[in-house]
Structure formats: C-alpha cells, structure tokens
C-alpha cells in the first residue's frame, strides 16, 4: 500500500460510533415538536448531511428550525459524553499515523463545538492538525470543498492524501 502523507477522516460513523446518539436526538425533537416517532433507518440514511437540512426534511419547514436545532444540540450535549466512543482500534491507528509524522484532519458535517466536545471527551483531539466543519465552508459534504479546504490548511498534495469516510 502507498504510504500517504496526509489523512482526512469523517467523524460520525468513521472515527466515532455516534449512530445511537444521533437517533436518540432526532427522536427527541420529532416527538417534542411534531408529536411523531421517527424511524431509525430514516435517521441513519441522513447521517452525514448537514443537521439543519435534515431537520427541515424530516420535520417540515413549518416549525421554528432554529429552536429545534438549538433543542437538538442542547439535548445532544447533555447526553454526549456517555454516548460516544471511538470505534475499536481508532485510537491506536491515529497514534501510529501521528507517530509516523503524518498530517491528520477531520472533515465533517458535525458543528465545530460539538466535534470539539467529542474530541475532548474521547481524548483524541491531540491527533488532529486541522478540523473542517460546516462553519468553515460554503458548500458541504458530499461536495469536495471541505476536503479541499482541509488539504489546503494541511499543506497537503491531493495525490498524497487519502480520505476515509462511511458515505
């Protein structure tokens, strides 16, 4: 296998097992605002897309999206530390890459403050040189802009960079 110099990772579903957390939070706001139960598979199919657009899609534009988003994020923060763990072997892999002098970045649809809380609670922040979140770009995943931004910030060459994600 080619030894790359730079590694970009998605967060949710790649580095961290966040499926249960995301489903619990969506079900919480769906019940609170729309009085409905959201199917777990529907929620899972939207993971990786920006949260605000998912809320509009699933709950409808007639609700106060900013209030729903705020409630979702506050609820998520209140249960996050007990709900998220790195997938098996993630920490060891990051340690190997970092020890080998590789440049590491996260490119995610998760908001920065939430990502930083995950990184802190899982003791993985020290491995990453760059974080690119929706606040950093005009276009979002699956568009290439966030990955290109991460490569630019890392000073990485696209022929020597690999991106690992779940979607």
Active site residues: 10
Dist CA 122 CA 131 (whole Å)? 16
Contacts of 77 (CB under 8 A, 6+ apart): 114, 117
Query: What single-letter DSSP state applies at residue 158?
Result: G
If we measure between CA atoms, which residue out of 104, 98, 109, 105 comes closest to residue 166?
109
- Of the candidates 89, 92, 105, the one whose C-alpha atom is nearest the C-alpha of residue 150 is 105
Residue 29 tokens, joined: 């706001």
Return the exposure string of 126-137: e unless at least 16 CB atoms fall within 10 Å of the residue's CB, then b: ebbbbbbbbebb
Cα–Cα distance for residue pair 112/90, rounded to 1 Å: 20
Angle at 76 between CA 153 and CA 144, to 5 degrees: 30
């Amino acid at each position: 296998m080619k030894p790359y110099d730079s590694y970009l990772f998605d967060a949710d579903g790649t580095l961290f097992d966040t499926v249960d957390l995301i489903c619990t939070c969506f079900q919480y706001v769906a019940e609170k605002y729309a009085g409905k139960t959201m199917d777990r598979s529907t929620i899972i199919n939207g993971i990786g897309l920006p949260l605000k657009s998912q809320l509009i899609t699933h709950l409808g534009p007639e609700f106060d999206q900013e209030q729903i988003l705020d409630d979702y994020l506050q609820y998520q923060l209140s249960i996050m530390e007990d709900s998220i763990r790195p997938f098996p072997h993630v920490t060891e892999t990051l340690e190997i890459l970092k020890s080998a002098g590789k440049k590491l970045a996260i490119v995610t649809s998760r908001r920065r403050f939430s990502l930083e809380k995950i990184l802190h609670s899982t003791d993985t922040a020290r491995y990453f040189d760059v974080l690119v979140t929706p606040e950093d770009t005009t276009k979002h995943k699956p568009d290439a802009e966030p990955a290109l931004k991460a490569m630019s910030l890392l000073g990485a060459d696209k022929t020597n960079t690999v991106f690992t994600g779940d979607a």
